[in-house]
Structure 1
Amino acid sequence: MTIFNSINATNNINVLPTDNNYIEFEKTYRYFSQMPQFIQGYLVSRISLNYSTNTIQRYIYDFKFFFDYVIQRAGIQINSIDISLDDFTSLQPSGVKNYIHYLAIERKNNPKTINRKISALKSVFTYLQQQNQVKSNPIEGIERPKVGRSEPIYLTKQECNDLLTFIKKMEYCKSEREKTYQQMFMNRDIAIIHLMMMTGLRISELCSLQMNNLSWERKEITVIGKGSKQRSIPITEETIKNLKNYLEELNEDIRPKKTTDPFFVGYDFKQKKIKSGISVSAVQKMISRHLERAKESLPFLTYKHITAHKLRHSFATELAKQGVDVLTIQNLLGHESVATTQIYAHIQRETKMKAIALLN
C-alpha cells in the first residue's frame, strides 16, 4: 500500500461540491441544487475540466427537461433530486427511443436540439462507466435524427438598417408602460442588436461581455467563445458610437465602471429596477419583441423567420457577399471547424457568378 492509494480510488473522482462550492454553484447555475447527486458529481467533473458556464447551464436545462419527462410519464410525485443512481441506470435503449420520439413528435424539437439532449445523457453514462458505476451505455448505437444542411436565413444589410431605424422611432409603443420601458432601454437594445449584426457574436458571448473586453483604442472586442477559446473581433466607428451612447445614457449609479463589470445591464421585473448583467433569455425575448412589433411596418419579417441567432447569420452572409474567404469568416465567428462555416460558401459562388455574368 502506498500513500497514493487514497487518491487512486476511482470513487474519489465522483466528488460532490464542498459547502462553499455548493453555494457558489447554486448562485452560478440555475437548478443545480435540484439535480440528483450523481448528476451534481458529473457537473462538478465538467467544471473541473474547464467547461464553459454556458455549457454547464445548458446541460442542467437538458437534464431537468429529461427528468421532468420521466416523472410525468411515471405519474408519481417526486422531485428530480430524488431520482437515484439505480433508477437512472435502469434506462434501456427502448426508453431512449421513446424519449427521442417524444422530443420529435410531441415537442416538435428540431434534429439538432434532439441530438444535443441525447448527447448530454450519453455523456453522463460515459462518465459513470469511467467510474465503474455502470457496465453499459444504453445510448450507444441509438439511431439519431439526421440533421439536414439548409441555407441560412438572414437579413440583408438594408433590412438590418430598416430594423434599427424602426426601433429608434418608438412608434409601435402603444401604452405608457411600453414607452417608459423603451425610453429606458432603447439605446441598450440598439447597441445590442447592432453589435450582433456587425460582429456575429453568439448571444451567450454578448451576455458575458465585461468592460475589459472592449477596447476603444484598438476598436475591437475580445470574447471567450465555445471551448473557452478567445478571439478578437474588430468593431466599426458606428458600433463604437452606439455602445458609448448606451453607456452615457445610463445613470451614474448603474453604469458599469470596474473592468470586470458586465457591459450590458438587464431589468429585474420582481424588484422593478435595472440590474447588472443580462441573461441569454432576456436578450432573446427583447429581440423577439422588437421583431414581432416590426412585422406590420417591415414586410420582409413576415416571410423571414428571424431570431436573435439569425443576426449572426446575417453578419456572416454579408461577409460572404463581400467576397471574404471562408477561413476568415470561420475565425470571426469562432467556429471550431471550417465545415460549419461552409454553409456560407454558396453565397460566395453566387457572387462570383454574378461578377462573371457582367462580362457578357
Structure 2
Amino acid sequence: MQWKQAIIDYQHYLKIERGLSDNSIFNYSLDIRKLVVWLESNEINVSPVVISEEKIQEFIYHIAKTVNPRSQSRIISGLRGFFNYLIFEDYRNTNPMELIESPKLGRKLPDTLSIEEIDQLINAIDLSSPQGERNRAILETLYGCGLRVSELVSLKISDLFFDEGFIKVTGKGDKQRLVPIGGATEKYITIYRKEIRVHQIIAPTAKDTLFLNRRGKPLTRAMIFTIVKQLAEKAGIEKVISPHTFRHSFATHLLENGADLRAIQQMLGHESITTTEIYTHIDKKQLTAVINSFHPRK
C-alpha cells in the first residue's frame, strides 16, 4: 500500500465511519501529507505499512524545529489516528506512534467578554441600517445560544422552534442538537425576520437560510469575523475577540451563575465533559465556595 492510496482510504473512513466534516478530514490528511513530504525530501522510500517508529521520531524532531508545541501535538495526534486506522484494517500490527509523547501544553483559554462588554458591542451597532438589525440578531444568537460560527451561518428558518423554546443546531460531523433559546434572542431574530429579511430578494438556494448578506445569499464565516472585529473597534474593546469569544462567554457566564456543567456540555455540543471544562474555567474562589456550601464536612 502506497501513501496516496492509504490517505484516500483513510479519508473515506473518516467520512463514512466517523462522520467527520470535510474541514476536519482535510486537516487530518494534511498532517499525514506533511510526513509524506518529509520522507520524499529525504529520499526515504518506505510505505505506511512498514514505516518504523525511528523514522517517525526523526520526523517529529524535524517538525519540532518549525512548529509550536500545539501544532506539534495536533500532528502527532493525527498520525496516531491514521496508524490506528491501518491496524484496524489489518495493514499493520503495531502503531509506530505508540511511544511518541505529545509535548505538554498549558491550558490556553480565550478571552471572555463581561456582560458590560457584550452590551457595549451591541450598543455600537448602527440600527439605522438593515444590516444593523441583522447584526444585532447575530450577536444575540452567538451569545444567547453559544453557537460556533459555522453553526450560525448554517442556521435555517426551519431550525427555529420558538413555540417549544428551542433551536435545532447542526454541529461538527453533522450532529444535531436542540439548544434552548431565551426571550431576548428570540425577540431580535423575529425583528430581523419580519422587518428586514422579509423585504430582501433572496437567492433560490438561500430561501431557508436565516442570516443573509445584502445580495440575499448566506453569510460566510469570514463575514461574521469581520462584523465582530469592526464592532469591537467601534466599541473601544481592546481584547482580541472573535465569534468564538461569545460561545466561551456564554458557557462561562452560565457556569458562574450556577448552571450545571453537564447541561452546558449538552448545549455546546461537546462529546466529552473534559472539553467543556476547558471552555469554562473556574477560579479558585468559586471552587472554595462550592466546597464551603455543599460538602458535608465543610
Q: What TM-score bracket applies, with the shorter chain setting the length? A: 0.7 to 0.9
Distance 1:73 1:290, change over 3 A: farther
Shift of 1:91: 5.2
Counterpart residue number, 2:77: 119
CA–CA distance in 2 between the matches of 1:68 and 1:242? 46
Tell me the TM-score normalised to structure 1 length: 0.64
Unaligned runs of 5+ in 2: 293-298
Correspondence 1:106 to 2:52:
no
CA–CA distance in structure 1, aligned partners of residues 176 and 143 of structure 2:
20
Change in 2 beyond 3 A, CA 1:310/1:91: farther
Pick from 231, 239, 261 the counterpart of residue 177 of structure 2.
231
Which residue identity is paired with 1:63? S
Whole-angstrom CA distance in 2 between matches of 1:327 and 1:119: 26
- C-alpha displacement at 1:279, in angstroms? 4.2
Give the alignment of 1:73-88 within 5 angstroms: 87-88=47-48
Structure 1 position 329 matched with structure 2 position 277? no
1:218 corresponds to 2:186: no
Q: For 1:217-296, what aligned pairs fall within 5 Å after superposition?
A: 217-226=163-172, 229-247=175-193, 248-250=195-197, 251-254=199-202, 261-265=208-212, 273-276=215-218, 278-291=219-232, 293-294=233-234
For 2:167, what is the secondary structure of its paired residue? strand
Write the distance in 1 (CA, Å) between the matches of 2:261 and 2:134.
Answer: 31
Contact 2:203–2:216 under 8 Å retained in 1: no
Letter in 2 for 1:319: L
Matched with 1:59 is 25
Q: Which residue of 1 aligns with 2:15?
A: 47
Deviation at 1:317, TM superposition (A): 1.4
Pairwise CA RMSD of aligned residues? 3.9
| Percent identity (aligned) | 28
Q: What residue is the counterpart of 2:295 in the other structure?
A: none
8 Å contact 1:321–1:348 — kept in the other structure? no
Number of equivalenced pairs: 285
Instruction: Give the match's secondary structure for 1:167.
Output: coil
Gaps of 5+ in 1: 1-10, 12-34, 77-83, 171-182, 268-272
Point out the more displaced range, 249-258 or 210-219. Answer: 249-258
How far apart are 1:195 and its partner, in Å? 0.9
C-alpha separation between the residues in 1 aligned to 2:124 and 2:58? Answer: 46
SS in 2 for 1:231: strand
> CA 1:133/1:213 → structure 2, altered by over 3 Å: closer, same or farther?
same
Does residue 346 (structure 1) correspond to residue 287 (structure 2)? The answer is: no
